[in-house]
Chains A and B, each alone.
Chain A
């Protein structure tokens, strides 16, 4: 072998947010080996500091357009917007975990390290410019989450959640990888820009279509759209509540980030095809998610089905297309992240007789026992319904407005009808909290400073996004422009 080796240009600046988080993860692992061995609470603080640092780095780099490793990693406004959402979600989850995980008997250094490693995967997923990076980042995120889902080792449901998530997740990953192979076979590249510019993209190569379908299956699993949603209720129910919050928000936001970038950049030649596919996926996902949620008595399962329905709404924005549709999805994800973390956060901070309180009936009369907590949960649920002036209303307004402007009036009608159906199961919880007699020994608040602070931040976010949405909506619109050049 002769010839000079070309030393690649290492552009670490495009990786900076992910590097900060993975560095914090390594630090947590090292500190875990040092005393004090009895308590691991300080590791949560280190993890939180790392995430806040990553958040600051992200905000300070707003407006850059960094490309590194031959366009494999892109740090544009689009990636930075998602980085903010993901870092917020992870930071709130760490704050909620500080007392919750120790209380439920699963405290260890690995917990925070795994949260940080999965966050790294999410950040990379948001800035992936190549299908190989998409796959690697998705695996980094998912493998950490599989372990986290089974973190309560002595609980059967937790192990079941981990096992189901792992088996079905690995199955879905193979679909994704097969789709990537098909696209590579059709176009000769895994780079998103080069896939879009290849001749196969114009000629309608059947391999290209098969690749699109397989990719949609893989992503559909990660964001839990309906034919691929079976894992969600069991995993959400069995996993530690703080981990459930991370799976429902951070991992979903990251998978959406990659999905939108792949569809809008690499597969823009197939827009009519994937619009038709997503149209039907959106309808089934919304409808089935909401109908199944009606029958749940376990709050974690109810929120799982509700999060499936919310994915259906977000797909409406993707179908609407264009800058307004994609921008509306980004805004929706921001609002959804704050609201969902808040709702799961309240569950994480409630106990009944030393056990986690997850049944709706356990929340009967909560308003009389703890008016502040009941009002907090009520606000999060009202935002999930989409009641003004909360974040959920504005987000839905943008989303359905974009659908109507995009000419998908029927889709918007179905989505609005679904929102009306959904109001029933959210309001049922409110009825229990405010209008039922308190049960003896019902769910009660377990004091936690970090957890309470996290709830307060989420609540401020929900109200702020609802009262003055314009600046955030402009940010979301600005974030999608780099995609649509």
Chain B
């Protein structure tokens, strides 16, 4: 029963927070003006972002991320067991990294690293 006070605190917080959301929507006056509907309210008409339009190349970023992320995923356990794996492990990792680097080289040469 000693936790009842904590539950009461939770309930009180929920009621207060809920009231803050619900009560204004019931009683507050709502006057929508064109200025309020604008995304910026800094006194200047919003035209565009100062740096111009920014292209976030999601697909390129995603491919790079997967490339490096998968590499890490395999290299980590490999490095932990490197001595036990011996030359076999070394050769396998070289093959893996070789294929990975082929992909990296390709995306690099195709301009994947150029940010506009």
Which residues of A does B touch, CB under 8 Å? 4-5, 7, 26, 29-30, 32-33
Contacts and interface: CB of A to CB of B under 8 A. Distances in A.
A438 to B, nearest CB: 46
B84 A5 contact: yes
Nearest to A3: B84
A32 B103 CA distance: 12
Contact of B106 (A4, A5, A7, A29): A29
11 contacts: A5-B84, A5-B85, A7-B88, A26-B99, A29-B106, A30-B102, A30-B106, A32-B106, A33-B105, A33-B106, A33-B110
A29 B84 contact: no
B81 interface: yes
A7 B102 CA distance: 26
Main secondary structure of the interface of A (DSSP, over half): helix
Which of B85, B86, B106 lies at the interface centre, i.e. has the most chain A CB atoms within 10 A of its CB? B106
Contacts of B59: none
B97 to A, nearest CB: 14
B109 A4 contact: no
A32 B110 CA distance: 10
A29 B88 contact: no
A5 B109 contact: no
A26 B95 CA distance: 13
A398 B85 CA distance: 53
A4 B84 contact: yes
Given A7-B86, A29-B102, A33-B105, 16 more contacts: A4-B84, A5-B81, A5-B84, A5-B85, A7-B85, A7-B88, A26-B99, A26-B102, A29-B106, A30-B102, A30-B105, A30-B106, A32-B106, A33-B106, A33-B109, A33-B110
A205 to B, nearest CB: 35
Contacts of B106: 29-30, 32-33
Contacts of A32: 106
Contacts of A33: 105-106, 109-110
Nearest to B110: A33
Counting chain B residues whose Cβ lies within 8 A of the other chain, the interface size class is 10 to 19
Interface of B: 81, 84-86, 88, 99, 102, 105-106, 109-110
A98 to B, nearest CB: 22
Nearest to B87: A7
A4 B84 CA distance: 7
Nearest to A5: B84
Contacts of A5: 81, 84-85
Contacts of A30: 102, 105-106
Contacts of B99: 26
- Top 9 A-B pairs, shortest CB-CB distance: A33-B109, A7-B88, A5-B84, A29-B106, A26-B102, A5-B85, A29-B102, A33-B106, A5-B81
Nearest to B109: A33
B86 to A, nearest CB: 8
Contacts of B109: 33
Contacts of B86: 7
Nearest to B103: A29
A5 B102 CA distance: 29
A423 B81 CA distance: 65
A114 to B, nearest CB: 13
Nearest to B108: A33
A5 B110 CA distance: 41
Contacts of B105: 30, 33
A5 B84 CA distance: 7
Contacts of A7: 85-86, 88
A4 B105 CA distance: 36
Nearest to A113: B106
Contacts of B88: 7
A298 to B, nearest CB: 32
Nearest to B98: A26
A29 B81 CA distance: 33
A4 B81 CA distance: 11
A26 B98 CA distance: 11
Contacts of A4: 84
A68 to B, nearest CB: 15
A335 to B, nearest CB: 37
Nearest to B102: A26
Contacts of B110: 33
Contacts of B102: 26, 29-30
A30 B106 CA distance: 7
B81 to A, nearest CB: 7
A181 B87 CA distance: 35
A26 B105 CA distance: 11
A1 to B, nearest CB: 8
